[in-house]
Amino acid sequence: MSNEAIRHQIAQYLPRLWRYGLVLSHRRDVADDLVQATCVRALERASQFITGSRLDRWLFSILHSIWINEVRAQLIRRGQGFVDVDELTGTGNSEEALWSNDVMKRVSRLPEAQRDTVFLVYVEELSYREASEVLNVPIGTVMSRLATARLTLAQDPAIQPDMPQRKGDKS
């Protein structure tokens, strides 16, 4: 795919990239920076995109790599805070919105590796294989993280999440 083709298609993925940046960083300004850096790197490395593969998965991989290599180290050194989970989910009065906020609060307390994996598989609907490629871990690690996250959430007496059990990897 050419640089120009990627440039035209990248806009449709910006909200999803920003949401993933926010899940990783918990900060709106850092999410903005991650998305911008992802777009720049994608355009610089357009020749590395494999035609026939999914552009969104490639962009998620780039964003994740940037987070791991640059932003996370800077945030840890600076000791900057996090966005409150209520800001991520918005405010709503419906029973479903309240339940969603409750689930998000509990998911946000999971260890980072589990939280990121839950987001990619259950929110972004990546297959186990795709999530393993984005996170640069074996597929078994993705499955283990999800199983541990489901167990942790199921043992939380305040909530019984309705997270679907996956019947195998959808490749």
What average pLDDT does this structure show over 21-33?
88
**Is the pLDDT reported for residue 13 higher than 90?**
yes
Contact indicator for 48, 88 with CB cutoff of 8 Å = no
Contact indicator for 105, 85 with CB cutoff of 8 Å = yes
Cα 113 to Cα 116: distance, rounded to the nearest angstrom? 5
Q: Which has the closest alpha carbon to 133: 53, 24, 45, 52?
A: 53
Tokens for 3? 């640089």
**Is the pLDDT reported for residue 6 higher than 90?**
no
Domains located in the chain, CATH noted: 1-83 (1.10.1740.10), 91-157 (1.10.10.10)
**Is the pLDDT reported for residue 171 higher than 60?**
no
Greater pLDDT, 2 or 31: 31
pLDDT attached to residue 18: 93
CA angle 71, 75, 76 (to 5 degrees): 120
Q: Is the pTM of this model over 0.85?
A: no
pLDDT attached to residue 88: 43
Q: Distance between alpha carbon 25 and the CA centroid of its chain, in Å? A: 10
**Is the pLDDT reported for residue 9 higher than 80?**
yes
Span 147-166, pLDDT tens digits: 999 888 888 765 544 545 55
Task: Concatenate the DSSP letters of all residues of 26-45 into one string.
Answer: S-HHHHHHHHHHHHHHHHHT
Q: How many CB atoms lie within 10 A of CB 116?
A: 20
When mean pLDDT is compared across 33-42, 86-95, 129-138, the lowest value belongs to 86-95
Distance of CA 56 to CAs 62, 141, 143, 146, 154, Å?
Answer: 10, 22, 21, 22, 31
pLDDT attached to residue 39: 93
Q: Which has the closest alpha carbon to 21: 9, 11, 35, 10?
A: 35
Span 93-144, pLDDT tens digits: 566 656 666 667 777 788 888 888 988 888 888 899 999 998 999 999 999 9
Contact indicator for 124, 13 with CB cutoff of 8 Å = no
